[in-house]
Structures are given as C-alpha cells and as structure tokens.
Amino acid sequence: MNEVLGWILDTVRQVDPVLRVLLATVGMFLETSILIGLIVPGDTIVLVASTAIVDWAEWAALFAAVVVGSLAGESLGFALGRYFGPRIRVSPLGRRLGEVNWVRAKNYVDRRGGVAVFVSRFLPVLHALIPLTVGMSAMRYRKFLAWTAPACVIWAGAYVSVGWLAAGSYRQLSSQLHYAGYLFAAIIAVFLLLALLAKKLIVRSEARHMDVPPGDLPNDDGGTREP
C-alpha cells in the first residue's frame, strides 16, 4: 500500500503549485455555484490538492483559494437567484431536484435567515439551493455574505488542514512503518466519518425549520398539494 499511495501523492505534488491552487479555486467555484455543487465533488478536490502542501505558505495559498472560490460561486448563485431564480426553479434541472427540496430551502431561509445560510454550507443539496433561494428572498447580499463567509472559512480550514496532516504524517513515517499508508487512510476516513455524523446531527436539529407544511407544494395546475 505504501508504494501505491506514495506514487499517488508524488504525482499530485508534481503538479505545479500555482496550477493546483487554480484548479482548487475553479473546483470550489463550480461546487458552490448554481446547482453544479450537486455533481462536482468539492471536498474531494480540496483533499487531493491539500496532500501536496509542503509548508505553511502553500497551506495559506490553498486555503485562500478555496475560500475565494467558494465565495465567488455562492455569490454567483445569489445573483442568479435574484435575477433568474423562478426560471431556474422550473428548468429541467430545477424540476429534477424535486419541488419539495425547493420548498424546504425556502422555508429554511424564511424561518432561520442568516443561520440557514451558515448551516447550509455543510449540508448536501441545500448548499447548492440556498444561495439561489436567498437570491429570491428579501435578504440583502451584504447579510448573505456576512453569514456565508465564516462558514466557507471553517469548511476550507478543516478540509485543507486534514489533507495536509494526513499526507504529512504518511511522508514522515513511510520509511519507518510499513503500515503508514493505513494511517493516512485512517485519518481521512475518521475525518469524513465525523463530517458525516456532524451533517446528520445538524439535519436532525434543524429539520423542524425545513418542514414542508401540508398544502405547500404547488400542483401543475397552480393549486397546492400535500408533500
């Protein structure tokens, strides 16, 4: 395992640092912008890129790139929601998401405001819908940015640091321990498991704010129906 993992990490490190940072920025921009976050694995992109970090300067550069890319993507989502939100909602992709998810996102923003913006960064599906939904609401961009920025900072700090820690531990121990590769895998696995558990706890604690009351979902004829 050490040989294979070493080859993979060396391959990633051979990519020009500037190119790695640029790819992470673009990846996060796509991951957090209009609905693309449903298919672009931003967490994977960041974890892979962070395994090539060699010092604090590279950590800071990648961290900044992830934050900037995230904020740019979410800002685009907000703007598109402001100007084209209803059209996007009824588009083929918007309908594919399911009307119930749109209603849940709207209810969450209406009931929790900025808290919904902050929390949604850590939740699947909602993190792609909330910027659009907020854009269609009365919330100002300044307030949206004030809530989403710290969430992006926390998210970026966690993923960039864990990737660097896992890869750094492997490189230090690979020549001494034959199971160093398993240590790398364990660090990543534990982190992802903790992230998954945190998401489940957040969803459980916030579920009541996303509930869709009976009759909130519109019918094709303009009426309403139960979810």
**H/E run at residue 224:** strand 224-225
222 falls within a domain: no
pLDDT of residue 214: 60
Residue 149 included in any domain: yes
What is the end-to-end Cα distance of the chain in Å, rounded? 49
Asked, for residue 218, whether it belongs to a domain, the answer is no
219 lies in a domain? no
Number of domains observed in the structure of the chain: 1
Question: What per-residue confidence (pLDDT) applies to 225?
Answer: 47
Asked whether the beta carbons of 153 and 125 are under 8 A apart, the reply is no
This prediction's pTM: 0.85
DSSP 154-202: HHHHHHHHHHHHHHHHHHHHTTT-TTHHHHHHHHHHHHHHHHHHHHHHH
Looking at the domain assignment, is residue 208 inside a domain?
yes
Residue 53 lies in a domain: yes
Residue 182: predicted pLDDT: 83
- Which domain does 179 fall in, by range? 2-212
Q: Is residue 197 part of a domain?
A: yes
Non-local (6+) Cβ contacts of 155 within 8 A are 66, 70, 121, 122
pLDDT under 50: residue ranges of the chain: 220-227
Domain membership flag for residue 134 = yes
Residue-wise pLDDT tens digits, 123-146: 877 888 899 999 999 999 999 999
